[in-house]
Amino acid sequence: MRNSRSTMALSLSAAAVVAAALVPLSGSSAVAATGAYNGLPNGSKQAKTLVIGIDGTRYDKIAAADAPNLKALMASGTTATSNLYANPLAPTLSGPGWSTIATGVWPDKHKVLDNNFTGSRFDLYPDYASRLEAADPSNSTLVIGSWNPITANVFNGTADLRIPESENDAKTASDAADYLAHGNPDSVFLHFDEVDEAGHSYGGASAQYLSAIHGADALLGQVLTALKSRATYAAEDWLIVVTTDHGHTDAGGHGGNSANERQTWMVLNGRGHAAGARRYDVKPVDIAPTVLKHEGAPIDPAWGLDGKPVDEIAPDEFDALRPSLQTRVDETGIGSTVKGFTHTPPAGWTIDNSRMPTGGVTEWRGWAFATDEFWTAAQLGQSRETNVRARNVFAVADSDEWDDKTHGAGQFDSTLVSPAYPVAGRTRGTLSFATDYKVDGPQTGDVYVSFDGGAAQLVKSYRADLNTVEHLDVTVPAGASTARFQFRYTGTNSAFWTVDQVVFS
């Protein structure tokens, strides 16, 4: 048992976990009566999901590893890469990571901040297997976890069958293969642990780590072979997702905010997921709603999920800037070959720097457009890793980093201006955008609206930390034809403001 998990406190006793593994849980007896396999009720869906978690697996090491099964899924499906949070949102540990994947919300909502699960809010944000059961009790849901908290804490709700495997990946694979080949589950989640074990014991840059990826890939192949052996496989609509919860340092370990620890990825293989495609706008919180939609379970906006079904995630105007992003100019902490910023806005957008002093760090002089891997590397540990609700390329105003180089007198003062949105015939509209507003000194953030080029009217002011997706109601005056929004940020060596996914509807 590695140190990062040794303080774990299980919410179920060992006896309770074993009991949960041996019998269907409450609500499944009626289904079990019509047919079951080793305690798992017979499923009823043509659309089915298999989510496989490979703990602690760095994306940059997959290419170097002998992993033919995973690489085949990538070649015939879509691969998405992104970065996790870090403190102060939550450390890069398995408890927060798998809870984020299972619930579809970030740690600031599910409140799993370590591997003890103290203070968790699964009552408000249950795992997706529980949501499937609530939507339709005839769903057959199976959870198998090499790390026992997967079945005891993360998926702790009403899945029909939960099997803890006590760090035995071979048993996890054989049990999963057995149920897939001979049973009829609708939704399966299984978790492998030995790659993470190798990272802790030998480091993420070791030969043993690559060997562990190879071993996990062989088990993945065993499970996929069983899946495809199903007599009904050709008539079924299987969505396969493979993912991880965090990365590892080269020396071994995780929990911090380095790029190697924050690496995360997923492979989506199934109908509608383009072969060989690469995406940068899909995140771990999107797995749960993607499974729910695939299984036909309605998603209630009142649940407050942070994720979206992957097929509903559309690139915004900022994302189109990725091919034109530049390498560093003044920054020294960012890799010299990393492309990740530009001051050139997309069509229709403008940046007003008329109040900005001269000088300062070039990358952050006024509003910029950046990626997470570029911006967070500017300086670790200053809360930039909390910007989890932005996707792909986002807009950022960062007075703290700008101030790190000599500049003219005055404060950071820049305004990001939206395109003109048509409003003719409307009386109201809603401005939506993802935002992370962080205060660490004198600063202001204000959203204004201007109709038909008229005087700017204040919509909302920000003076305290806020990390959310905003929905601001705007009254449209009679006779107005267009509305243009302004995001003005001022700061004196303070923190930052990010804006993304701006929609006026």
How sure is the predictor about 122, in pLDDT bands with cuts at 50, 70 and 90? Answer: very high
Residue 15 clears pLDDT 50, i.e. is over it: no
Among candidate residues 256, 340, 215, the one with its CA nearest the CA of residue 87: 256
CATH class as words, domain 15-312: alpha beta
Average pLDDT (86-98) is 98
- Torsion on CA atoms 245, 248, 253, 254, rounded to nearest 10: -50
Of all helices (H) and strands (E), which one includes residue 132? helix 128-135
Q: Which DSSP state fits 254?
A: -
Residue 197 clears pLDDT 50, i.e. is over it: yes
Residue 351: φ, ψ to 5°:
-125, 125
* Strand-pair partners of 483: 421, 451
Residue 8 clears pLDDT 50, i.e. is over it: no
Q: What is the pTM of this model?
A: 0.92
**The pLDDT of residue 30:** 24
Spans of all domains in the chain: 15-312, 319-504
CA distance 96 to 318: 29
Average pLDDT (349-370) is 98
How sure is the predictor about 26, in pLDDT bands with cuts at 50, 70 and 90? Answer: very low
Cβ atoms within 10 Å, residue 412? 29
Residue 246 clears pLDDT 70, i.e. is over it: yes
Residue 381: φ, ψ to 5°:
75, 20
Residue 374: φ, ψ to 5°:
-80, -50
Q: Which DSSP state fits 359?
A: B
CA distance 352 to 478: 28
CA distance 216 to 440: 44
Q: Which DSSP state fits 322?
A: G
Question: What percent of the chain shows pLDDT beyond 90?
Answer: 93
Among candidate residues 486, 367, 493, the one with its CA nearest the CA of residue 433: 486
Lowest mean pLDDT among 25-34, 325-334, 383-392: 25-34
CA distance 317 to 347: 8
The residue assigned the tokens 């929609």 is 503
The CA radius of gyration of the chain, in Å to the nearest whole number, is 24
* Residue 317 · residue 349 · CB < 8 Å: yes
- Torsion on CA atoms 250, 277, 396, 255, rounded to nearest 10: -30
Instruction: Give the DSSP per-residue string, 141-180.
Output: EEEEESSTHIIIIIT-S--SEEEE-TT-HHHHHHHHHHHH
User: What is the fold, at CATH topology level, of the domain defined by 319-504?
Assistant: Jelly Rolls (2.60.120)
Q: Which amino acid is at 505?
A: S
**The pLDDT of residue 432:** 98
Residue 24 clears pLDDT 60, i.e. is over it: no
How sure is the predictor about 25, in pLDDT bands with cuts at 50, 70 and 90? Answer: very low
* Residue 393 · residue 325 · CB < 8 Å: yes
User: pLDDT tens digits for 267-277?
Assistant: 999 999 999 99
Mean pLDDT (the chain, rounded) = 93
394 contact partners, CB below 8 Å, separation of at least 6 = 318, 369, 370, 371, 387, 434, 498, 499, 500
Residue 19 clears pLDDT 50, i.e. is over it: no
Average pLDDT (219-230) is 98
User: pLDDT tens digits for 282-310?
Assistant: 999 999 999 999 999 999 999 999 999 99
Angle between helices 128-135 and 287-294 (to 10 degrees): 20
HEC secondary structure over 59-125: HHHHCCCCCHHHHHHHHHCEEEEEECCCCCCCCCCHHHHHHHHHHCCCHHHHCCCCCCCCCCCCCCC
Among candidate residues 382, 394, 387, the one with its CA nearest the CA of residue 468: 387
Same topology, domains 15-312 and 319-504? Answer is: no
User: pLDDT tens digits for 248-268?
Assistant: 999 999 999 999 999 999 999
Among candidate residues 105, 107, 118, 142, the one with its CA nearest the CA of residue 9: 118
* Residue 240 · residue 290 · CB < 8 Å: no
User: pLDDT tens digits for 420-471?
Assistant: 999 999 999 999 999 999 999 999 999 999 999 999 999 999 999 999 999 9
Residue 285: φ, ψ to 5°:
-65, -15
Among candidate residues 332, 330, 338, 312, the one with its CA nearest the CA of residue 501: 312
Q: Is the dihedral of CA 306, 256, 493, 396 positive or negative?
A: negative
